[in-house]
Structures are given as C-alpha cells and as structure tokens.
Structure 1
Amino acid sequence: MKPHKARMEEDRALRDAARALVMDDIDHLKGDVEEKGIVARIASSALLGATDIFEEGKELAEKHKPASYGIGAVIAAVVGWWALGGGRSDKSDDEDYAWDEID
C-alpha cells in the first residue's frame, strides 16, 4: 500500500471513531432531555444561581457586619414605614384635587 493511501485509511478510521463518539453523545443527551425536561433544567439552573448569589451575599455580610447592620436597619425602617401606612393621611384624596373642580 502506498503511504498516502495508508494515511487516508488511518484518517478515515479516526473520523469514523470520532463520529461514533459524537453520535453516542447526542443519543445520551436526547435520552437525558427526555428524562428531565427543559423547564426542569432551567428551574434547576436558576435555583443553583440563586443559591450562589445568596451564599455570596451571606459571606459579604459576615465580612462587613457593621455595614450589614446599617443596611438591615434601613430596610427595616422602610418596611415599617410602608406597613404603617407610608405617610398617608386619613383624609380623602378628593380634597387634594379641589382645584380641578369648577364651581
């Protein structure tokens, strides 16, 4: 056999082996997607991302405790203000728009 022909046969064998591996991977992915749907995968990925963000925030708060206490106090004040009515008065809103009325 000529050297070029032998080289071509080796390359073809490598190509066929690589193609078989890719086809096996595709079949595996198809089976995996059928087993666990796309929506479940997205939800799982989002949950992992949220967990990572929460853990990083927790580590940051532990490193900077005085700042986190201040931020917590501000958040608590805003939530308390909102829960107590947010500065609204018991007066009717109609009085605020008295200038709209024509006598």
Structure 2
Amino acid sequence: MTDRRALMIADRRVRDTARAVVEADFAHLKANLSRKGLSERAMDRVAEGAQEVYDEAVEVASDNKGALAAIVAALVLWFARNPILDAVFGDEDETDAEDD
C-alpha cells in the first residue's frame, strides 16, 4: 500500500508540474496576443508571403529577361489589337457606309 501511495504522490507531482507548464504557456499566449491581435498577425503573415513571392518573381524575371520582354510585348499587342486591326484593315463600319 505504501508503494501505491508513493506512486500516487509522484503522479500528482508530475500532473501539477505539467499543469503549471500549460498554465504558463497559456499566460504567455494571452500576453502575446494582447500585444498583437490575430488579425494583425494574419496581415503580417500575408505581407511576408507576398514579399517572398515578389522577391522570387524579381529573381526569375532577372534570370529570364527575354521571356519577360516577350510576355510584355504580347500583352501590349493584345490590348492594342483593335486599333492595330483598324489601322491595317480599316474600319468595317466605314466600308459598309461606302457600299450603301
């Protein structure tokens, strides 16, 4: 019976120590969150992620300048396609009006 009592006392000490560690962690978390809220932390994480993506994009762009120039040229041509087509082939409305 003495062994069981000693084991119970040792187990209680371990439990109390573990509980004290958990309570200390919880108090630390509360203090940390009171300084900086969850939304602010989330925004910081998003900003850090965006910065990493930007840095990676800059690195890739500097390594592939020719491909980047081709993409930019394709985008310019795409957005300017209607004025370019009108200049080359003429405006369809004008030719329809001349036929009438």
Does TM, normalized by the shorter one, top 0.5? yes
Number of aligned pairs? 87
Q: Name the SS for the 1:88 alignment partner.
A: helix
Unaligned 5+ runs, structure 1: 96-103
Show structure 2 runs of 5+ residues with no match.
94-100
The match for 1:17 is 17
Counterparts in 2 of 1:8 and 1:59: CA distance versus 1, 3 Å: farther
Aligned amino acid, residue 88 of structure 1: N
Aligned to 2:5: 5
Amino acid at match of 1:76: V
Q: Distance in 1 between matches of 2:31 and 2:56?
A: 35
The residue that corresponds to 2:53 in the other structure is 53
Shift of 1:60: 4.6
**Which structure has the greater CA radius of gyration?**
2
Instruction: Name the counterpart of 2:66.
Output: 70
Counterparts in 2 of 1:80 and 1:59: CA distance versus 1, 3 Å: closer
3-state secondary structure, aligned to 2:82: coil
- The structure whose RCO (Cα within 8 Å, separation 6+) is larger is 2
Counterpart CA distance in 1 for 2:52 and 2:20 is 37
Aligned counterpart in structure 2 of residue 87 of structure 1, from 43, 59, 81: 81
Amino acid at match of 2:80: G
2:39, 2:30 → 1: CA distance? 15
TM-score, scaled to structure 2: 0.67
